[in-house]
């Protein structure tokens, strides 16, 4: 398993649990050292325990030596990052760097698997690079027996391990159907419907899936913004429309805009893939535009209440991560919201159960005197002019409202996740503004 980030580590441990012997290779010495100590470089439920269990069982080994790790491998899985480049295209430099290394180090035939999210055509290019290297080293007989499979990953940060062990589907792209048994063997023990596709269809499926989900969020956010204006309650509307099986209730939420390492980058990359083939994906361009607008909604509510000058105002923020269950702050709407308030002179008292270490490591957030961090969510409220709820952590759902009222200078809440009941908040004496609902 080459690359031990969210995907490589989780799926590597998962395959080890299913009975494979997995050698994890990671280029970052710091990450590798942490893993050797049994520490996970990011927050993800259940992974520390699984790492310990699999390392003790010797089914999961760690290595910084690619040559050693490759020896005898029947399958080589590439799970390195594919972040957006400055134009929004998937940056494939890590994937191709791995392919170049394999072309120099590999001495036997095996199945290559690309788990990273990559544009259409990448699997074939990687196989070509590896085979060209083998041929150049006089290993033609190895090159002809090499195979490649696309195995896109659908795990979600926050439930990564559970998603790996209970997938809703297994999508595999193959150029040669004779490679299927080895992919099946790798997943033996998992119960899920299989979708065996061409390499191109499998590559596109991952982007299509994320573009669809991101667009679903943007549709919900648009509906929520309309609901709030006309006096409808989005929370009730989403349930009612979700009862139509063609729409479906899962994933019908409104919020402060999508973030994270996947949705924004994959929608951008799909737009570029289409453009490279002469097609303008208008719908997905609009998905991104709607999302950028949505990231401002919560801060705009504050500005509407207090005006554009927020000097001498202090706001508490509950939640910095882009969603609950992770410390990932990539493209989190917290970045846009907090930045917008600070630009207008406000100070921020922030609390997040997992993402504060991450926030402090970010240039803008870590060194900004306008932001202070609190280890206790109630302490973060003390003396502030209002609370903003940005991440839907469970611990924010049923707090001690009287303690909140005691701490806040004004009992004012701006809720980006629709976690409380509007009527109850009124009864408790809060001024409560939330996305998708009107407070009168």
Give the catalytic positions in this structure. Answer: 262
Smallest gap from residue 199 Cβ to ligand NAD (A): 16
DSSP 90: B
123 binds ligand NAD (CB under 6 A): no
CB under 8 Å to 86, separation ≥6 — which residues? none
Q: Which one among 1, 20, 23, 25 touches ligand NAD, defined by CB under 6 A?
A: 25
79 binds ligand NAD (CB under 6 A): yes
61 sits in which H/E element:
strand 60-63
Cβ-closest position to ligand NAD: 5
7 binds ligand NAD (CB under 6 A): yes
Smallest gap from residue 77 Cβ to ligand NAD (A): 11
CA distances from residue 1 to 22, 114, 154, 177, 187 in whole angstroms, order as listed: 7, 10, 17, 22, 15
User: Measured at the alpha carbon of residue 304, what is the angle toward residues 301 and 306, in degrees to the nearest 5?
Assistant: 105
Q: Which one among 94, 215, 294, 316 touches ligand NAD, defined by CB under 6 A?
A: 94
* Cβ atoms within 10 Å, residue 286: 13
Smallest gap from residue 332 Cβ to ligand NAD (A): 14
CB under 8 Å to 117, separation ≥6 — which residues? 82, 90, 152, 153, 206, 207, 210, 262, 266, 269
2 binds ligand NAD (CB under 6 A): yes
Nearer to ligand NAD, 323 or 417 (CB): 323
353 binds ligand NAD (CB under 6 A): no
116 binds ligand NAD (CB under 6 A): yes
CB 126 within 8 A of CB 95: yes
Nearest to 168 by CA among 186, 155, 157: 155
Structure tokens at 235: 């929370």
Smallest gap from residue 160 Cβ to ligand NAD (A): 7
Nearer to ligand NAD, 260 or 411 (CB): 260
Nearer to ligand NAD, 4 or 371 (CB): 4
Nearer to ligand NAD, 155 or 288 (CB): 155
98 binds ligand NAD (CB under 6 A): yes
Nearer to ligand NAD, 79 or 146 (CB): 79
80 binds ligand NAD (CB under 6 A): yes
Rounded Cα–Cα distance for residues 298 and 295 (Å) = 7
Give strand ranges (E) for 100-248: 111-114, 147-150, 170-174, 194-198
Say how far residue 184 (Cα) sits from the centre of its chain: 26
Question: 234-293: which residues touch ligand NAD (CB under 6 A)?
Answer: 261-262
82 binds ligand NAD (CB under 6 A): yes
Nearer to ligand NAD, 91 or 431 (CB): 91
Nearer to ligand NAD, 116 or 291 (CB): 116
31 binds ligand NAD (CB under 6 A): yes
Smallest gap from residue 228 Cβ to ligand NAD (A): 30
Nearer to ligand NAD, 97 or 144 (CB): 97
Nearest to 125 by CA among 96, 147, 97: 96
Total residues at the site for ligand NAD (CB under 6 A)? 26
Residue with tokens 């973060």: 380
Q: Which part of the chain contacts ligand NAD (CB under 6 A), choosing from 5-13, 130-138, 190-198, 429-437?
A: 5-13
326 binds ligand NAD (CB under 6 A): no
* Cβ atoms within 10 Å, residue 284: 21
3 binds ligand NAD (CB under 6 A): yes
Smallest gap from residue 135 Cβ to ligand NAD (A): 22
CB 152 within 8 A of CB 171: yes
CB under 8 Å to 100, separation ≥6 — which residues? 129, 133
81 binds ligand NAD (CB under 6 A): yes
Question: 146-175: which residues touch ligand NAD (CB under 6 A)?
Answer: 153, 155, 157
Structure tokens at 209: 């899936």
Nearest to 70 by CA among 29, 36, 40, 111: 111
Nearer to ligand NAD, 6 or 396 (CB): 6
Say how far residue 206 (Cα) sits from the centre of its chain: 13
Q: Which one among 18, 21, 28, 285 touches ligand NAD, defined by CB under 6 A?
A: 28
Q: At what angle do helices 234-242 and 199-230 cross, to 10 degrees?
A: 140
Residue with tokens 């994906």: 281
213 binds ligand NAD (CB under 6 A): no
Q: Which residues bind ligand NAD (CB under 6 A)?
A: 2-8, 25-28, 31, 79-82, 94, 97-98, 116-117, 153, 155, 157, 261-262
């Amino acid at each position: 398993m080459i690359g031990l980030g969210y995907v490589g580590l989780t799926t590597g441990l998962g395959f080890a649990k299913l009975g494979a012997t997995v050698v994890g290779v990671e280029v970052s010495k710091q990450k590798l050292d942490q893993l050797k100590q049994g520490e996970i470089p990011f927050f993800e439920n259940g992974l520390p325990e699984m790492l310990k269990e699999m390392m003790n069982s010797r089914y999961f080994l760690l290595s910084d030596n690619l040559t050693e790790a490759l020896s005898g491998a029947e399958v080589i899985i590439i799970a390195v990052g594919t972040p957006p480049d400055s134009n929004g295209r998937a940056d494939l430099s890590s994937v191709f760097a791995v392919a170049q290394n394999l072309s120099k180090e590999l001495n036997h035939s095996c199945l290559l698997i690309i788990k990273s999210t990559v544009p259409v055509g990448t699997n074939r290019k990687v196989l070509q690079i590896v085979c060209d290297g083998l041929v150049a080293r006089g290993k033609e007989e190895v090159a002809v027996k090499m195979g490649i499979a696309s195995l896109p990953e659908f795990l979600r940060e926050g439930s990564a391990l559970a998603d790996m062990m209970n997938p809703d589907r297994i999508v595999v792209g193959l150029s040669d159907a004779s490679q299927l048994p080895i992919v099946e063997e790798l997943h033996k023990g998992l119960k899920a419907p299989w979708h065996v596709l061409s390499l191109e269809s499998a590559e596109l499926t991952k982007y299509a899936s994320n573009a669809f989900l991101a667009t679903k969020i943007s549709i919900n956010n648009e509906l929520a913004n309309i609901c709030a204006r006309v006096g409808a309650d989005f929370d009730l509307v989403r349930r009612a429309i979700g009862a139509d099986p063609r729409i479906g209730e899962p994933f019908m939420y409104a919020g402060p805009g999508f973030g994270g390492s996947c949705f924004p980058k994959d929608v951008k990359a799909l737009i570029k893939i289409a453009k490279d083939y002469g097609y303008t994906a208008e719908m997905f361009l609009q998905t991104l535009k709607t999302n950028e607008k949505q990231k401002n909604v919560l801060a705009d509510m504050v500005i509407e209440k207090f005006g554009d000058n927020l000097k001498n105002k202090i706001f508490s923020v509950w939640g910095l991560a882009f969603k609950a269950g992770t410390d990932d702050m990539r493209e989190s709407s917290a970045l846009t919201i907090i930045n917008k308030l600070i630009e207008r002179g406000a100070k921020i008292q922030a609390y997040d159960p997992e993402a504060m270490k991450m926030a402090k490591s970010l240039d803008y957030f870590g060194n900004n005197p306008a932001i202070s961090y609190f280890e206790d969510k109630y302490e973060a409220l003390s003396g502030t002019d209002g609370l903003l709820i940005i991440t839907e952590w469970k611990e924010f759902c049923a707090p001690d409202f009287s303690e909140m009222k005691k701490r806040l200078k004004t009992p004012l809440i701006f809720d980006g996740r629709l976690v409380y009941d509007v009527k109850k908040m009124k009864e408790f004496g809060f001024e409560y503004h939330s996305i998708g609902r009107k407070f009168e």
